[in-house]
Amino acid sequence: MTATRASPKLTAARRRSARAKTIIACGGVLAFGTALVLSRSSYASHPKHHARALAAPSSFVETVRSDLLRAGIVAPAEAPPQAETSTS
């Protein structure tokens, strides 16, 4: 028996298929690497500056200290009347 040789069209198709698979695999690796680099650069693994304590703005503190609540200028909010059901 003689070894059967593949037709030139089949050989060319297999070569194109292998090349396409290689390009798709390289594109996937490139996309994964890009996503990895971007995620690592945007996520802070440790703080770069010391955290500061949250504090109220100085204008708010001065307003509260000026005792406007006791003078009645700023009154606390009033609650709406409670719902009542009728008795039968």
Per-residue model confidence as pLDDT tens digits over 32-66: 999 998 888 777 666 667 777 788 888 887 777 77
Residue at 33 is within a domain? yes
pTM (predicted TM-score): 0.43
User: Considering only CA atoms, which of 71, 48, 47, 74 is closest in space to residue 60?
Assistant: 74
23 is in which domain, residue-wise?
A: 11-43
| 63 belongs to a structural domain | no
Helix (H, G, I), strand (E, B) or coil at 15: helix
Residue 27: count of CB within 10 angstroms of its CB: 10
Percent above pLDDT 90 for the chain: 31
Asked if the structure places residue 82 within a domain, the reply is: no
Is residue 67 a part of any domain in this protein? no
Residue 62 in any domain: the answer is: no
For residue 51, is it within any domain?
no
Domain count, the chain: 1
Residue scoring higher pLDDT (6 or 69)? 6
